[in-house]
Structure 1
Amino acid sequence: MSKPTLLILAAGMASRYGSLKQIDAFGPHGETIIDYSIYDAINAGFGKVVFIIREEFLDKMKEVFDEKLKGKIEVDYAFQDFDLKKYGIDREIERAKPWGTAHAVLSAKNNVNEPFCVINADDFYGTDSYQKMAKFLTTEVSDEQMALMGFQVGNTLSDYGYVSRGVCEVSPSGHMESVTERTKIYYKELEGEKKIVFEEGDVITELDPKSRVSMNFWGFTPKVFEVAEGMFKDFVEKNAEDPKSEFFIPSVADYLVQTKQADFKVIPTSSKWFGVTYKEDKEIVQASILKLIADGAYPEKLF
């Protein structure tokens, strides 16, 4: 079986962060979070990385990544844009932002022909996640059996505001029964205790800290492109008048499960995620990386 590909979602505009965090420096020698992700992926056995970006980022991304990765892993780029005609949608819709994470994945349909893993550019997942996903993608994956890395929600929050997570219902056999994108998960004082809650409309619901959530760390086969494209056409028709609507990866995964086209193995990890949703998160990420280096998990200089 060919080596799996790492698909990195790096087209976001980072409105809450305030700058282009995809290339912001976090490591002691200017390493980005993406550098650590690719380092872990190479060591786990991935053979190719595809950056999904906005086309205007291309020169800067190539400047930052191409030379350092030369000879270490194959590199490719796909563009997430507003052109709907390439998906068979004959209309123009004015939007400020692209159509969301599932649309981003769909943007790479011509770049990937092998099992692949999807991650966010601004999330630090840890070595364990890449090792487990690479093993799954080379020994278990099929069009009927895909996967997601299941983090505990209590290990994935920011102290500085709300986050979006795909909250999973998991069967006793360790498979996803459903996944629902919750776009406002945060800490809240309830009855004198710090609790994890999600907000939907005017309703606030408490979440168990051990609930498994998706951090957009998915294991797919190229079958997902075909399914996502059909769903995207329907989504655009239904949401053409809503400029803030987004087509999320968990929606595609949940559709595959509910229509019994594929099962999703929830690969458990106790790793503590960290990432940069807000500018205030940066110091925490930098300190966490320095501790991992001090503990011997990473060399001081990656590439």
Structure 2
Amino acid sequence: MGLSPWLPVGRSEPLAFYKAVVDVVWASRLALFLSAFFLAGGALLAAVGQVAWHMSLMVSGLLAFYFAVMYIQLPGFINAAPARWATWLLTALFILGTAASQLYGYAAYAPFSAVYIALYAKGLGKKPTFYPNLITIPGLALLPLSPTPLMAALSFPLASVYTLLYRVDVSRAKARFRLKAAATLALLYALAWAASLWGHLWSFIFPSIALTLTAPPKPRDAYGVGSLFFRVAIALAPLGHHFAYMAFAVIMSTLCVPYFLPSILYREAPSYKYELLAASLAAYALRNVGLTAPAAVLVVGIAGYAALRSAKSKPVPLNPPQ
């Protein structure tokens, strides 16, 4: 495949494709482990009142988490595995961007965003499964433009959540992805982000409404409740920034941990009921009434519980082609 950044599904040499997928898994794991370190450290710093470092680490953890969750699915999103060199270039740029952002702000992520968007170019076209990618790309583009930690959280991480909710809830309804719906959601998201620069954080209610009209949640299980809750909670940031920040804890616990963590770790999915939803909603409530330390303990506890359940689940081998 030479210097091509992609190995198309079904049209690539099997062993080369396998190795590329293995690298996607390892890059996603590395991002996940970085996320766990940043989020746990940030939560503990909040408990002892180190606000500035708390904010920085939590947003770094959020970015690393959604890099892991979205990158493990990229082969399915674009119908191709990123080439091995592209995976490790992107990973290196993410790590460098995270380190440099402490000095230069989120503009340090510009090379990471540019390469990631270029990889997504393979997943643009007339296939319905490509349409949700239109929602993710603006989030990547807006990340380096983010002037504050909150706006960074509302860039790539929020666009990723909107993308995943659209994919999951449309699929649950056995409906079809629609170009007009995905493009409208992407546009409303980008406009809401821009409006938020001027203090109109409530603007995210508009992409949330559009998402709900085209991909209505069904609150019949923990994920469905979390999906509905997030759409409302993300627009409550004018009441306090942690109304938005902690909304991510809820959707991470009810969508990303049960659905996507097993794919990153290559283990069978543990059977969760409502414990992650209950704990994340409790953390959300505690933090937003000012009880920072108990909320931090709950966040660390959720991460530890998910890690323990994952460690106890059966490994799934990723065998090379015969």
| Class of the TM-score when normalised by the shorter of the 2 chains | 0.3 to 0.5
Q: Comparing both structures, which one devotes a greater share of its residues to strand?
A: 1
Answer 1 or 2: which has greater helix percent: 2
Greater RCO, CA 8 A, separation 6+: 1
**TM-score, reference length from structure 2:** 0.31
